[in-house]
Structure 1
Amino acid sequence: MSDIVDQINDIHREVGMRPVAEGEARTVLLRRTYDATAEDVWDACTDPERIRRWFLPVSGEFELGGHYRLEGNASGEILRCEPPKLLKVSWLFGENPGFSEVEVRLTPEGDERTVFELEHVAVVPPEMWDQFGPGAVGVGWDLSVLGLGLHLRGGSIGDPSEWEASDEAREFMARSSEAWGAAYGASGAPADVVAAAVQATTAFYAPPKPAQ
């Protein structure tokens, strides 16, 4: 098994719910420890030039109250910025995005290690959650956490479009889907609901290859 697929086990995952003004929000939490200082991880998460190397090209006003836009993905406002420990942004996607926020928290662990936490809190349409559960966003965040880790080590996956079509990427996404299913089950979801969500999420991210 490749080092990249092995990194599935480096991430701790939690699934929950939280009341917000807009209704009941779903939460997904990822936690991973990186062999890097908090300052370096913070810089990788906030410097536009570095963000594009492991995530996506980003534009905007990078200050408290400013707005950002990730190419082909989310946009929003910078709600909190407390370097090098906390970044909170609204995370809006589509024409009617509803409530959605992402918070990144960094905690030093010794001199050269940092505990990275990412929590995504969103009011999710019931039909979306019923079909995919937490894996709909969880697998995407796992890919991002993987990319950040490779970047901090001085590497990368190369061309994302090419890599995502590889057997390695398919294995990573399938195992990520299963891991989010386990977290979903640990949150109290029934086994049959978890199984259906994992199947739908895996089919979305890593559909079966066409017959030769």
Structure 2
Amino acid sequence: MIDLVNQINATHRELGTAGLSGGGAGRSLLLRRTYDAAVEDVWSACTTPERLARWLAPVSGDLRPGGHYQLEGNAGGSIQICVAPSLLRVTWSMGEGMATEVELRLAPSGDGTLLQLEHASPAEIVDEMVRQYGPGGTIGIGGGWDLALAGLLLHLSGAEYDPATWQDTAEAKAFAARSCAAWGAVVQAAWGTGDDDAAAAVAFATAHFS
């Protein structure tokens, strides 16, 4: 059985800047971790509809470069780049909101796979979110990706996992709280927030997943 809470330290997290494909300044969240699985297996899990449904969400659409996808109950967008088994870039939009971009990069690492996931948003989206909600909104986005990558770990490990119900379990909520705390430290270091501001942001983001 995987101790997911202890998996928090297996992920590197950082905030930075990014150049968006359409031009303009962007802000980004980056997650980096290694999986004990071959690159081809991780790529298949991240791009095959049948496998995506088992750890993230059912996906539909014209699943090819230039096509559009829709995750059930989640984001949708266009597929910008798909180079197996190393690079996938898509736009990522919730409803009618302005599109952000998600890039997935895979590379061999020893006997496993190094996964890097970068979520870049136009600077005005992030800045407005911070004005409205403080850094807690950014922490919540990072926490959401942590939960998704935990689901990928469960899937690759052969564990029984239902993404539609797992996030309501005590295990997932404990994981989300630890994730938000980890992102809180990243935000505090990057933006110079005080301890009280960081604690409030973590509480806000954790409540989003409870």
Q: TM-score, normalised by structure 2?
A: 0.88
Q: Which runs of 5 or more residues in structure 2 are unaligned? A: none
**Counterpart contact for 2:151–2:163, Cα < 8 Å:** no
**Counterpart contact for 1:15–1:134, Cα < 8 Å:** no
Aligned to 2:114: 115
Aligned to 1:66: 67
Aligned to 2:157: 153
5 Å-filtered alignment, 1:25-174, equals 25-95=26-96, 97-110=97-110, 112-123=111-122, 124-130=125-131, 131=133, 132-158=136-162, 160-161=164-165, 163-174=166-177
Aligned to 1:209: none
Aligned residues, how many? 202
Q: CA deviation at 1:19?
A: 5.4
Mapped to 2, the partners of 1:15 and 1:156 lie a distance apart of: 32
**Residues 158, 94 of structure 1: CA spacing in aligned structure 2 closer, same or farther, 3 A cutoff?**
closer
Q: Which runs of 5 or more residues in structure 1 are unaligned? A: 207-212
Name the aligned partner's letter for residue 167 of structure 1: A
Q: Which runs of 4+ in 1 moved over 3 A?
A: 18-24, 156-160
Aligned to 2:202: 198
Q: Deviations over 1:10-50 (max 9, x none)?
A: 11100123354665422100011001111111111000000
Mapped to 1, the partners of 2:176 and 2:65 lie a distance apart of: 34
Paired-residue identity, %: 49
Mapped to 2, the partners of 1:166 and 1:62 lie a distance apart of: 31
Q: Deviations over 1:93-128 (max 9, x none)?
A: 122x22400000001012x30000000001225342
**Counterpart contact for 1:177–1:198, Cα < 8 Å:** yes
Q: TM-score, normalised by structure 1?
A: 0.88
Q: Note if 1:180 corresponds to 2:183.
A: yes
RMSD: 1.8
